[in-house]
Structure 1
């Protein structure tokens, strides 16, 4: 008996569930109408973790999850102009027991403008899973949003702390050009059919360009929808892995070309706002 882990990725935009006759765009959580496109990571390769045999009459012991700090954000009631609601999603990562980090445009008003405070729609946050059926991990709610003053990044407070998963550590200094990072996300597996994936995707990138509040990332392998960001991958972490359980956060996905087309991923730097992050979580 084994658990299969499919690697890949995606970015921010939402699947549409319109009610009350309203019309909604298929673009999901975007700032000022801008659609963010994300990518995925390991070309659809599967990694297997063997489940240990258990005594008769008991459930088998599950192995530790892979990259358990990953977070899948989903909503079914995002209001749309003219009435009605739609669904949408983003990705993120745990950085403290009761905080995740994601893209700022995942939380917005009717005009697509980033907003903070109590979310204006319900956003479920699944942490520590590798697919939707994974019994491990937690599903909690987003209860408070803090929007970065300088880039498209947000901190999200959770309805309850998650104490059995080690969060990603924050950077201690600026990244370097050529630094290798991993990406994990829950974005769409199609550039045209927009819906969150049912499994965690994973890809491998490196820092290509460094700007004041953003980083440009380039893939280290041929792009597929499984290994690079797509719709609903906004907020996905780019991190330096330390085994398959821990890592150091470098940046989060904001936008990029239509997946899986060539081009650089635009990500929000984390190191430039460390003081602000600590102040919000303090």
Structure 2
């Protein structure tokens, strides 16, 4: 970013990269002098922000977010908070030498400006998990020596390829700014440094105090000015705002809407979809989803009467089709599955049809906000919980005993136990048992408006799916059966909190297959056998801090009838009565379901368990093949 010649002016457009000449003092092993770049591996959270016209500097403050000054993105205003930049922009982070190949180069997908300070958050296309975000420090003190880093111009280079840093003395501090001077050390801030971090070193660990705002640029290449003072923008007191803005909180729609129905022209793709085809349709600004500021949607994807056994795969529009599946269907089935899907950069989703001809229907139940969105209601965080059965109409657990007739309802109270009072939604596994034909379920907060669209489409026999439901103020949900009389078996997997300040925000990953027992003549999971699946430490998830994960499980070619049980690997064994997910029947080609599960934790006392690992048990008398696809994860829950 270009620094203006007046301290009071905001930083404007950008032309170069790297921080000014000078030396770093009091930085232990990271100390450099003159115009020497920082050593490799130092300040990896410092980001180079670049588009076709300009560049500036920022800092990673969350795995999915970089903070910088608004001069880097002058288009970011409160009126368009949550929208993408006007020009395609990339962020390079984790790389102190831009000519190297380390770190990450990611697109910016959304901007969230602060209401009163020249600060903006830029969301990355996917989380950065190999670089630790920088933590906020305490307020700067007069006379204190702080370190400034950046990718701007130096005293000798127009466009450096290395990160530089220098030491500045704090002159004074106001409510929103910090005045600094590099005269004593020969340090300066130049064009391209704007938005970069001003840091305090404590025991070798840097913390973020402010961002580079405006500078006199004394000592920068081609500048005649001699003053090395600058005005920084304080961020040490913006912790609450960063916390609220970087959480992809979940917002349930007042009523679900249809994004695509190929039987009609909804979604603009009318007609049967052939095997091998991909259908792309608009999401943003459709069916109640905001036109911007949305990172992902929670959708119900249905295959309707395919002419052959097939599977559908939902994925972000404009991206390569992943080798995963969303819903598996037999010839003639009407069956659906719930999935969280990132929205493509162009505001679309795509659904791939594997084989045969089929109609496709996609309903949306809610969305995840990409930071604060002006026109969007407040959302909630998510908390994964140990799976627990909460209702079973076969024995009267949690509800009335007996089948739910066609057109009948069951009301289930979900809060007050595993789910706390005040939760606004729940993630459930619902098994429809004993169906003599096809049908579907609807769900709505008890006493609220009746939902008109399907929550879960089922087929004859047993159908089990992970679904999200809204709760009434007293924590109840009403489920309506629109098909033959059936039993319902319901287990809870997690809940949505009443505010984004609690629970955890979603971290989406590209759909990734993490287990495939059919590959390379793999060995089937035996009857009552258990499989361990490591999620963290790879797949875009840190080694620790996994509070929950969204996975899609598929059982292929089971030789017996049964179900899966899933739990975190925390040292506890599976026991009789563990809740089921994904019921299956011998001879089925495949069945799939979304599951949310806590991540395992190592117990140092008993020395059991494994961080970030889950266990999956085949509770049946036959063998199965198992596919596990990872779609996202949740970090440690916020507590307020």
TM-score normalised to structure 2 length: 0.32
Q: Structure 2 matches for 1:156-235, cutoff 5 A?
A: 156-171=122-137, 173-189=138-154, 196-219=159-182, 221-223=184-186, 227-235=187-195
What does residue range 1-282 of structure 1 map to in structure 2 within 5 Å? 12-13=1-2, 39-42=20-23, 43-45=34-36, 65-76=41-52, 87-109=53-75, 116=81, 117-171=83-137, 173-189=138-154, 196-219=159-182, 221-223=184-186, 227-242=187-202, 246-260=205-219, 261-282=226-247
Indicate how the Cα distance of structure 1 residues 169 and 89 shifts in structure 2: closer, same or farther if over 3 A, else same: same
Judged with a 3 Å threshold, the aligned counterparts in structure 2 of structure 1 residues 219 and 31 are, in CA distance, closer, same or farther, namely: closer
Label 1:251 to 1:107 Cα distance change in 2 as closer, same or farther (>3 A). Answer: same
Shift in CA distance, 94/154, structure 1 to aligned 2, threshold 3 Å: same
Change (3 A) 1:46 1:147: closer
Shift of the 164–144 alpha-carbon distance from structure 1 to 2, 3 Å rule, reads same
Residues 1:154 and 1:130: Cα distance change in structure 2 (over 3 Å): same
Q: Does the aligned pair in 1 maintain the 2:107–2:124 contact within 8 Å? A: yes
Q: Relative to 1, partners in 2 of residues 1:259 and 1:266: Cα closer, same or farther, differing over 3 Å? A: same
Q: Note the C-alpha offset of 1:220.
A: 6.0
| Structure-1 separation of matches of 2:216 and 2:170 | 17
Confirm or deny: 8 A CA contact 1:41 1:182 kept in the other structure: no
CA contact (8 A) 1:89 1:196 kept: no
CA shift in 2, pair 1:138/1:259, >3 Å: farther
Q: Matched residues in 1 for 2:10 and 2:198: separation?
A: 21
| Higher CA-based Rg | 2
CA change 1:136–1:36 in 2 (3 A) is: closer
Q: Deviations over 1:29-66 (max 9, x none)?
A: x9596899974442213666xxxxxxxxxxxxxxx612
Runs of 4+ in 1 over 6 A off after TM superposition: 34-38, 112-115
**Deviation string for 1:210-242 (max 9, x for gaps)?**
01111101126443xxx4211111101001135
Post-superposition CA distance 1:232-254 (Å, at most 9, x none): 1110100113566x411000001
Asked if the contact 2:13/2:54 (under 8 Å) is kept, the reply is no
Gap runs ≥5 in structure 1: 1-11, 15-29, 49-63, 77-86
SS at match of 1:91: strand
Distance 1:36 1:126, change over 3 A: closer
Residue 148 of structure 1 and its aligned partner are, at CA, apart by 1.4
Tell me by how many angstroms 1:263 deviates: 3.8
CA contact (8 A) 1:36 1:256 kept: no
- The question of whether the paired residues in 2 share the 8 Å contact of 1:202 and 1:228 is answered with no
Give the 3-state SS of the residue equivalent to 1:271 in structure 2.
coil
**1: distance between equivalents of 2:203 and 2:95?**
17
Structure 1 range deviating more: 203-212 or 269-278 = 269-278
Cα distance change, pair 118–65 in 1 and its aligned pair in 2 (3 A): same
Shift of 1:209: 0.7
Q: TM-score, normalised by structure 1?
A: 0.70
User: Cα deviations across residues 4-28 of structure 1 (Å, max 9, x unaligned)?
Assistant: xxxxxxxx229xxxxxxxxxxxxxx
Q: What does the per-residue CA deviation read over 1:47-87, in whole Å, with 9 as the maximum and x for residues that have no partner? A: 66xxxxxxxxxxxxxxx6121111101110xxxxxxxxxx1
1-side partners of 2:210 and 2:97: how far apart? 23
1:6 aligned partner: none
Change (3 A) 1:222 1:95: same
Q: Give the length in aligned residue pairs.
A: 222
Give the direction of change, closer, same or farther, for the CA distance of 1:214–1:257 in structure 2 (3 Å limit): same
Deviation at 1:206, TM superposition (A): 2.4
Aligned to 1:27: none
Comparing both structures, which one devotes a greater share of its residues to strand? 2
| Deviation of the 1:113 alpha carbon | 7.6
Structure 2: runs of 5+ lacking an equivalent: 4-8, 24-33, 220-225, 248-640
Does structure 2 retain, via aligned residues, the 8 Å contact 1:103–1:153? Answer: yes
